[in-house]
Amino acid sequence: MKLLAINVSQPRTVPIGGQPVATGIFKESVTGPVMVRMLGLAGDGQADLENHGGIHKAVYAYPFEHYAHWSQELKREDFSFGQFGENLTVEGLLEDQVYIGDVLRIGDVLLEVTQPRVPCFKLAHKMGMPGFPKLFAKSGRTGFYLRVLAEGEITAGDEIERVKTDPHGLSVHALMDVMHFDRNNIAVMEKAVSIPALTPSWREELKERLAAIRPDFSQNDNAGTPKS
């Protein structure tokens, strides 16, 4: 497993649908060591702090393996690192093999997997395809967000070590599926809300859904222990 590229950007305002919209999706690769703090990478910023960034979504990683898929699917060869708005372009970490709560080490930095990425209209604008977010989500090739457990410097080319995992847990792919497609899968939802690393907003949504489906489900059941 390897870190192929580090991509950052500051928010900029672009016209989308005839309106000015601030976005930080236009990531560009940087060389040399980059400091990783609890709220993200040095030199990086998010415009929409409600849906991006913060402690639980400080860093976004995307598997490089998907670049070939999208190149073939979309018949395009104009991709560069950061194409999908990711901070870290990684190799060897696919969504069906990465689990919520996995801890990754890059240099001295420790990162914890918290949730899949949900695409929005800004990704559609970046790709020049209004329908791309729906295609992106349904493909399961979403990448994943990371919480920073230990700060430090990382450099493109660093090896990635998985120091904690639960192969019997819930994969990034499975969580995306139950959140947006297989929405009534009680067993998977119950497993999800029991995972301490899960983003609190997703935990609350899944608990509310469980309570609506199962009258005997208490919102205090399987609550996990979210980390600050």
Over residues 160-175, the pLDDT tens digits come to 999 999 877 899 999 9
CATH topology of domain 2-169: M1 Pyruvate Kinase; Domain 3 (2.40.33)
- Tell me what the pLDDT averaged over the chain comes to: 92
- Report pTM: 0.92
**Span 155-163, mean pLDDT?**
97
pLDDT at 224: 47
pLDDT at 157: 97
Minimal CA–CA distance to 102: which of 89, 92, 115, 91? 115
Residue with tokens 């989500």: 137
Ramachandran quadrant class, 156 (left: phi over 0; alpha: psi -120 to 50; beta: rest):
beta
Q: Is pLDDT of 8 > 50?
A: yes
pLDDT at 209: 94
pLDDT at 33: 97
Q: Is pLDDT of 225 > 50?
A: no
CA pair distance 43, 26, nearest whole angstrom: 13
Residues 20-52 pLDDT 10s = 999 999 999 999 999 999 999 999 987 776 666
Residue % of the chain over a pLDDT of 70 = 93
Residues 81-118 pLDDT 10s = 999 999 999 999 999 999 999 999 999 999 999 999 99
> In which band, very low, low, confident or very high, does the pLDDT at 53 lie, cut at 50, 70 and 90?
confident
Minimal CA–CA distance to 24: which of 82, 89, 90? 82
Q: Is pLDDT of 179 > 80?
A: yes
**Span 219-226, mean pLDDT?**
50
Residue pair 119/41 in contact by the 8 Å Cβ criterion = no
User: Strand 59-63 to strand 152-154: parallel, antiparallel, or no bridges (unpaired)?
Assistant: unpaired
> In which band, very low, low, confident or very high, does the pLDDT at 228 lie, cut at 50, 70 and 90?
very low
Candidate from 67-71, 133-137, 201-205, 217-221 with smallest mean pLDDT: 217-221
